[in-house]
Chains A and B, each alone.
Chain A
Amino acid sequence: MTTRVGFAGIGAAAAAVWLMLPPVGDNLRSTTELVELVPVALGILAIAAGIWVVSRGERKVGWAAIVCGFLGIVLGLAAAQASMDDHAAVFVWSSLIAATLRAATPLVFAAIGGLFSERSGVVNIALEGMMLAGAFFGIWGADRLGHWALGLLTAAAAGGVLALVHAFFSIHVRADQIVAGTAINFLALGLTGYLYIDIYGDEGTPTEVSTIPSVHIAFLEDVYFLGPIFGDMNLMIWLALATVVGSWVVLFRTPVGLRLRSVGEHPRAAETLGISVYGIRYAAVVVSGILAALGGAYLSIGFVGSFGENMTVGRGFIALAALIFGMWKPFGAFGAALLFGFSSALARSLPEYSEQAALLFETLPYVLTLIAVGGLIGRSIPPAAIGRTYQKQ
């Protein structure tokens, strides 16, 4: 039964491409304008089927269906743009991948930040607020201090301070961590909006502000396909990749990481061994604030070049979703962030076909996460002591 669903998913993915190919595709195009929705819908169906199958234990077929679903969306959309020559196709693909990395970068920073906090046992739904604070203070710092690097430092400091507030209320005061996180989100939204209006008013942030540069790699530049993606990538994207690897090393290959994880699994046992539960948790939450703020700063001074009120529009929550979807693991979170980044990049290139389809596409990360927490709950196990306050002996 389960394998059959998996194969049906693979079939749906194949149909996504087949329906778009010339004979059928041309007929479809003549009947409806929203023809691009067909491969997207079928692909999502295949992915959903795959996730369901994986959760039932048939991992091979399930993952095959998931991968086929993505390929179905991608190839189907590619086939839908009929008269495209090879050169243009390469351009589209490399630019789509580059856009994926750009969209994923803020998510990666925030998700890895959340990883530190949640692995230590402190729920951080305030990633959104910390990101927003990073976005504002990043551009403010870069504007006032004249250099993007100082902007990043300002952002990190702001995120760290906000995280410190979260940590104090969640750890020392032993307030409900979700309540505290909600409060931080409100605070950050109000504070950044207030300061933005107060400082920049109607004119908006200055256009000539110092922004984070791209890293120019000369030998990669002219390489086929890879050149347009990696040849001139923003510094923050490289940093994000380094953060993923770094967080894995720290969390899973160092004593500090072991302590952090033990505090998140069983704080009492950890304390018995002489580990400072409060100390580790404070550090982890502050690190999460700093990383989330760096992700936000990338948005304002790396990607867009300006700030707008509530400019993160839920990206912090997508990062939280990536963390859960990635099962509280660095590379899992990274993979999920890439997936969500891809869906967002695709959503951004969809308006050429259909503006509405693009808007609906924005729901994809959230829908997938819902499916994941619903179907994969047996596998997506949060740290045991997450969300629970701890009182020192």
Chain B
Amino acid sequence: MSQVDTAPVDEAPTVAVGRYQQAGGFLTALITTLLAFLVGGLVVVATTGRNPLPVYRGIFDGTGLTWLIHPLVDVRTIGGTHDLYRTEADAVAVAAISLQQTLILTTTLILTGLAVAFAFRAGLFNIGGQGQYLIGIMVAVGIGTSFAGMPRGLHVLLGLVCAALAGALWAGIAGLMRATVGAHEVITTIMLNWIAYWIASYAFSLGGPLQSDTQTSVPISNDVVDSAKLHVLWGGLQGLHIGFLLALGALAAFWALINRSTLGFGMRAVGHNPEAARYGGISVGRSYFLAMAIAGGFAGLAGAVDLLGWQHRYGVSDVQGAELGFVGIAVALLGRNTAFGILCSSLLFGALLTGANTRNLDPSIFDPELAGNLTLIIQGLVVLFVGADLLVISIWRARRRLPLPRRRPREVRA
């Protein structure tokens, strides 16, 4: 309560960051998730009158996670899809493709989640992951569809690096504005999101700079040339690409940068208390700018990995339907902005999105279009309850007569 009177306006998220970090625990995240699924299930019951458990089981079947245990168990006995496949091999093959899709989305979500989490650790709330992602997509399309004949590794590297840089610059605008004139990053990143949205809509529209020159009547880009496509690790068309390893590397880099580098130390210091950090000789403005730029770099990379890895082309409808940047917010919040947490939560959301996808969810179990919206509801609930975690934890601590973090001295109450 003391911060109400003393802290400057822009410290509110900062305090929240500190609390999120302290609030700890895998358990609260688990409870948050279960609660969100519970309420989501109530929505299903209330609207369709159906038992939500088979629905969730249908979604789970579509995630392909059953593939992981297929050497031990006949995967057909797990889900409700026993009659769909003639042989176990068929079922395993389908599960493998689904799992590849789950991991592909996990890849993107790790990166968009990092985009939120990295800024969060410096006390900034980067809502602009979506815009930075779209900027990354556009740059990747631009580079991936040109320079045919370039050596493969070089072409891929060029695409990834340029997209990450573009994302960094885009987010850097918000970081710079925060550092120089104090413009709140939530406002600026929201504005930058929508600017990117309309620029992308323009770029892929008929006659736009990135629109296909062979299919002039469709608002979609050219295909990425072969030399710019990411190496596929597992599976065939739209299989799991090497970007997955890249995302895992990014997680490790995030952990090292935050916990083991001077830069990360400075950022965490700024995130916990900018004033103290300033007295400690850390340049707060520089930290803000770098935090946003690096965060944007992750999101731009997410766009490039998505495009060069499996989408290979992008259109206006993709721009309108894009949501992975926004899901990154839920991923980071649920994962409490830690590397391991982000890995777990991006797997959860990657699986949820894949399982509810039109291609993977059996319409006789549940309408995939409904399921798609159900995942949005669950996401919203997760984000909402993550905020409430704090309350649960503070009550729990009070009950156990443990001192609350940042408790005010007694005498002030009198």
Question: Interface residue count for A (Cβ, 8 Å)?
Answer: 59
Binding site for A on B (CB under 8 A): 1, 3-5, 7, 9, 12-13, 16, 43, 47-48, 125, 127, 173, 177, 181-184, 186-188, 190-192, 194-195, 197-199, 201-202, 205-208, 326, 329-330, 333, 367, 369-370, 372-384, 386-388, 390-391, 413
Residue interface bits A185-211, CB-to-B below 8 A is 1, else 0: 111111101110110000000000000
- Contact residues in A for B382 (Cβ distance below 8 Å): 183
Q: In the complex the two chains form, is A176's CB within 8 Å of B387's CB?
A: yes
Closest 10 pairs (CB-CB, A-B) = A175-B387, A190-B376, A186-B380, A187-B380, A190-B377, A183-B384, A183-B383, A194-B373, A193-B373, A359-B202
CA distance A373 to B382 in the complex (A): 31
Q: In the complex the two chains form, is A190's CB within 8 Å of B379's CB?
A: yes
Q: In the complex the two chains form, is B202's CB within 8 Å of A125's CB?
A: no
Question: Nearest-CB distance from B212 to chain A (Å)?
Answer: 15
- Contact residues in A for B191 (Cβ distance below 8 Å): 317, 321, 366-367, 369-370, 373
CA distance A177 to B125 in the complex (A): 12
Question: Nearest-CB distance from A219 to chain B (Å)?
Answer: 42
- Interface residue from B5, B13, B181, B194 paired with A377 (Cβ < 8 Å): B181
A81 at the interface (CB under 8 A from B): no
List CB contacts (< 8 Å) of A306-337 with chain B.
314, 317-318, 320-321, 324
Question: Nearest-CB distance from A360 to chain B (Å)?
Answer: 5
Q: In the complex the two chains form, is A360's CB within 8 Å of B198's CB?
A: yes
- Contact residues in A for B390 (Cβ distance below 8 Å): 173-175
Q: In the complex the two chains form, is A374's CB within 8 Å of B183's CB?
A: yes
Q: In the complex the two chains form, is A190's CB within 8 Å of B374's CB?
A: yes
CA distance A305 to B163 in the complex (A): 41
List CB contacts (< 8 Å) of A357-384 with chain B.
359-360, 362-363, 366-367, 369-370, 373-375, 377, 382, 384
- Contact residues in B for A193 (Cβ distance below 8 Å): 372-373, 376
Question: Nearest-CB distance from A363 to chain B (Å)?
Answer: 5
Binding site for B on A (CB under 8 A): 123, 125, 165, 169, 173-180, 182-191, 193-195, 197-198, 267-268, 314, 317-318, 320-321, 324, 355-356, 359-360, 362-363, 366-367, 369-370, 373-375, 377, 382, 384-391, 393
- Interface residue from A178, A180, A190 paired with B125 (Cβ < 8 Å): A178
Question: Nearest-CB distance from B22 to chain A (Å)?
Answer: 14
A-B contact sample (10 more), CB < 8 A, given A187-B376, A366-B195 = A179-B16, A179-B383, A187-B381, A190-B380, A193-B373, A197-B370, A324-B187, A356-B205, A373-B181, A385-B9
- Contact residues in A for B5 (Cβ distance below 8 Å): 268
Given contacts A197-B373, A374-B181, contact A184 B384 (CB under 8 A): yes
CA distance A369 to B190 in the complex (A): 10
Determine the main DSSP class of B at the interface with A: helix
- Contact residues in B for A184 (Cβ distance below 8 Å): 380, 384
- Contact residues in A for B374 (Cβ distance below 8 Å): 190, 194
Q: In the complex the two chains form, is A194's CB within 8 Å of B370's CB?
A: yes
- Contact residues in A for B188 (Cβ distance below 8 Å): 370, 373-374
CA distance A243 to B408 in the complex (A): 42
- Contact residues in B for A182 (Cβ distance below 8 Å): 127, 329, 383
- Interface residue from A180, A198, A367, A386 paired with B48 (Cβ < 8 Å): A198
Q: In the complex the two chains form, is B383's CB within 8 Å of A186's CB?
A: yes
Q: In the complex the two chains form, is A369's CB within 8 Å of B326's CB?
A: no
- Between-chain CB contacts (< 8 Å), 12 pairs: A176-B387, A183-B384, A186-B376, A186-B380, A190-B379, A194-B43, A198-B47, A363-B198, A374-B181, A375-B181, A377-B183, A388-B9
CA distance A88 to B216 in the complex (A): 34
CA distance A387 to B199 in the complex (A): 30
Q: In the complex the two chains form, is B380's CB within 8 Å of A386's CB?
A: no
Q: In the complex the two chains form, is B202's CB within 8 Å of A356's CB?
A: yes
CA distance A389 to B125 in the complex (A): 17
- Contact residues in B for A176 (Cβ distance below 8 Å): 12-13, 16, 125, 387
CA distance A177 to B9 in the complex (A): 13
- Interface residue from B3, B197, B207 paired with A356 (Cβ < 8 Å): B207
Given contacts A125-B190, A178-B186, A366-B194, contact A198 B199 (CB under 8 A): no
Q: In the complex the two chains form, is B183's CB within 8 Å of A183's CB?
A: no
- Contact residues in B for A363 (Cβ distance below 8 Å): 194-195, 198-199
Q: Nearest chain-B residue to A362 (Cβ)?
A: B198
Q: In the complex the two chains form, is A359's CB within 8 Å of B201's CB?
A: yes
- Contact residues in B for A268 (Cβ distance below 8 Å): 4-5
- Interface residue from B195, B379, B388 paired with A169 (Cβ < 8 Å): B388
- Contact residues in B for A321 (Cβ distance below 8 Å): 187, 191
